[in-house]
Structure 1
Amino acid sequence: MPTDDSPQSTVKHWRDCTDAYDFLEQIRLRPSMWLPGGSLEHLQAMLLGYQVAISVHSVDENFSFWKFSQWLKAHLGGNSASYGWAADIERSTPDGSTPIEEFFRLLQIYRAESA
């Protein structure tokens, strides 16, 4: 994810990504390629699958889907256990923004607070 003090990210092949954040940056750069119809539900399923895969294969990864999901639930004040964080973000997206843009805005806040 780009920050104010980092250079703008560039598009690359997913195989060249080094971690979940790097892959998420590729999704941010080209959301229509990765998320049919801009669906956060697709992103939620993708991240859940990613977390399961790294857990099953005991991969050490700096992205914790579980911690991020819990942070989103607390931050949004939603009932993520029932509908999932994708639905919470879609319900809370401010006018003038899209759910995808809101997701990446929240991800940037999460990363800053988790650093």
Structure 2
Amino acid sequence: MPIYELLERIKPRPGMYLGKKSITLLKAFISGYYFARQTNNVAILEEIPPFGKFHDWIARYYNWESSTAGWNNIILQELGDEAKALDVFF
């Protein structure tokens, strides 16, 4: 399943997939998704736009010069609340 399709499934019921509404838990879920695909030799389909570039886009959007904080931490820092940050992500 492509990442964007998976995110569309998570969006209406994040608690079912993540345990609670949390941008940090979403990031962990997505990392696990990519890890499982890679570990099991499941091809990662070309994504448009490429999800791997999302961090750079978020950093530019919030005017962070350079950051290795991770897209989830940038959004969380800007919003100050896990649930609000998840809402903004979606």
Q: Same fold (TM over 0.5)?
A: yes
Q: CA deviation at 1:86?
A: 1.2
Q: Which amino acid aligns with 2:18?
A: L
In the alignment, the residues of structure 2 paired with residue 55 and residue 71 of structure 1 have an alpha-carbon distance, to the nearest angstrom, of: 24
- Structure 1: which 5+ residue stretches go unaligned? 1-17, 105-115
* Cross-structure match for 1:22: 5
Equivalent of 2:63, from 77, 92, 99? 77
What is the count of residue pairs matched by the alignment? 84
Change (3 A) 1:39 1:66: same
Higher relative CO (Cα under 8 Å, sequence separation at least 6) belongs to 2
In the alignment, the residues of structure 1 paired with residue 5 and residue 16 of structure 2 have an alpha-carbon distance, to the nearest angstrom, of: 16
Q: CA deviation at 1:52?
A: 3.2
Q: What is the Cα-based RMSD across aligned positions, in Å?
A: 2.5
Identity, in percent, stands at 29
- Listed as ranges, the matches of 1:32-111 within 5 Å are 32-56=15-39, 57=41, 59-63=43-47, 64-78=50-64, 80-81=67-68, 83-93=69-79, 98-104=84-90
- Structure 2: which 5+ residue stretches go unaligned? none
Q: TM-score, normalised by structure 2?
A: 0.70
Q: TM-score, normalised by structure 1?
A: 0.58
In the alignment, the residues of structure 2 paired with residue 37 and residue 84 of structure 1 have an alpha-carbon distance, to the nearest angstrom, of: 20
CA contact (8 A) 2:27 2:72 kept: yes
